[in-house]
Structure 1
Amino acid sequence: MSLLFEPLELRSVTLKNRIAMSPMCQYSCEEQDGQVNGWHLLHYPTRAVGGVGLIIVEATAVEARGRISPEDLGIWSDAHLPGLRELAAKIRAHGAVAGIQLAHAGRKAGTTRPWEGGKPLYAWTPVAPSALAFQAGWPVPEELDEAGLEEVKNAFQQAARRAWEGGFQVIELHMAHGYLLHSFLSPLSNHRTDQYGGSRENRMRFPLEVVEAVREVWPEELPLLVRVSATDWVEGGWSVEDTVALARELAKRGVDLLDCSSGGIVPGVKIPLGPGYQVPFAEKVRREASLKTGAVGLITDPLQAEAILREGQADVVFLARALLAEPYWAYRAARALGAEKVWPRQYDRAFPG
């Protein structure tokens, strides 16, 4: 049997296969209110119909000031719950596990959308561990003081509560790509001199406190995932060895799987892109930290995805742009790997024999 189409149990939740949809921002809240709209209600359920086992809804802001762009989805208010409930229900109705990524963009918040240039809007003052701009021409963020740290921690905790009340079965904390929690981890962006800066242990402290706060309210029977940048790809930055140490601490705090991405902390970095270029990070963490991992990054071919699982490099394969280009990728994968059909019976006529 194909491993890609084998179920995976995460606490009380069973994924019907090992295909996961990566959280990819849609920047589609045209009213800039963080509300689910028709685009989201079409975009995500389509991938559920397409046979994906786990769908992680895009980076959803735990604070309004934590949005990458003003058009990001939000979960900072109970007013977002009706739309989130409808979205989670539609994902589940079509056979996928409904997950959502909880995020805070930190010093990279408040930009135009990618197709509008991704430039800073100066619409609000971003926050960060240190008053260091992401790059020249970007706003200098406000350094979070003790009260600010508690405010952010509470925002993540309340967002987790809303995710549960909204019917989601999995949450993923965004600790990658240069956003707020990642910026605490990396010495390139964290120049604090208090208990939250300096040593690796200190730099991990606030992200781990957020995990603890979330796990307090997120039901014990439901899985908690974390997405991390396994390396900054910069000398003197966060490294894969640091990620292994972090993974061990996350496991102690009830994290069930580490989604291993990379980069994003500083601009202008040359990343050696290629098929499965981040897979070795997932493999190393899985082997050395004894934590389930997800592989992501230029995974496009069903045989490639199957090999990652068979070689023990990861437990789940996260697809990103491949699912934007091909929402029914899982159908092709099932046929290529000789798995049982994953398409609904309404589509049988498209796959005779």
Structure 2
Amino acid sequence: MTSNDNSSDLEDFIVTRMRMSHIYQPVMLKVLLDGNGEASLKEIAKALLSYDLPQIEYYGLRTKRMVGDVLTKNGVVEPIKSGSAIVGYRLVDDCPSERRRATLSALCDDRLAHFIEKRGEAIWGHRSLSNGYVSGSTRYEVLKRAKYRCELCGAHETQTALHIDHIIPRSKGGSDGLSNFQALCMSCNTSKRDKDDTDFRGVLASYDTREQGCVFCELGAGRIIAENELCFAIRDGFPVTHLHTLVIPKRHVADYFDLYQSERNAIDALLQERRRQVREEDPTVTGFNVGINAGASAGQTVFHVHVHLIPRRDDDVADPTGGVRGVIPSKQRY
């Protein structure tokens, strides 16, 4: 950094002109400032990685299932638990003196150096493309296609680490072509064995399914009062009570039991949001009926899943059937 103090310009950039779509800019600037104005790519990359919580979660899982398990079985370390969850590890023996720790740490350095010298790039050979490693450009294309969501449960990359998974496992002849990859979250992928060739990419495409003539698929945008990626909310056209709301999946699906888990998660999130909003709009609301009609014999008249959120107040006329039947319409409602 030059001797001229341009800190006021940098301060103005940080405070007023820096437009952020991610954490990268302030993290990089912090590294440069801590390094007296300069830093290597490696130093900047390490700093960015330290903020990447999904990757930390991923390596936390690797620690428990691999190295932590091996060291525990050898009696060198023991897990630190909170309830049934492993939250860390400790040495089995009492922590040695500072001098002894330095000696043991130096021995670890020696073993690392010897291993790296002996194996070289082969250390990471298991991550070559032919052995399942996915290049950065391929990973980008797969994640972009999946809209940065798990193609099974719908979790976003900001919620959990996303893996790039072979649909047809390599053990069954699957290729490393883009068409044989799908995005799965850490939980879904680690639950999927290499003998499973289920293709979840159709789930993502099916979110766009609409049916001509369906009143909910062709609903005008003016009716929508709230939405998220997979569902939206409207006011019921024939309300049981004031502020009666419907939460509806965007995908055309007739039966609640045919919803994907990701859609159920989205519906629940929007129900929670609408419940809070209704209470803010009307403090006299003291309860809610939440209900779904699945099938004609259960009272479903519009065969596109819709969940009723019906506000209840102490002065509402009591429903002799207990309230739940109030969800079942006697005529088509929307």
Q: TM-score range by the shorter chain?
A: under 0.3
- More relative contact order, 1 or 2 (CA 8 Å, 6+ apart): 1
Name whichever structure is richer in helix by fraction.
Answer: 2
TM-score by length of 1: 0.22
TM-score by length of 2: 0.23
Report which of the two structures shows the higher radius of gyration computed on alpha carbons.
Answer: 2
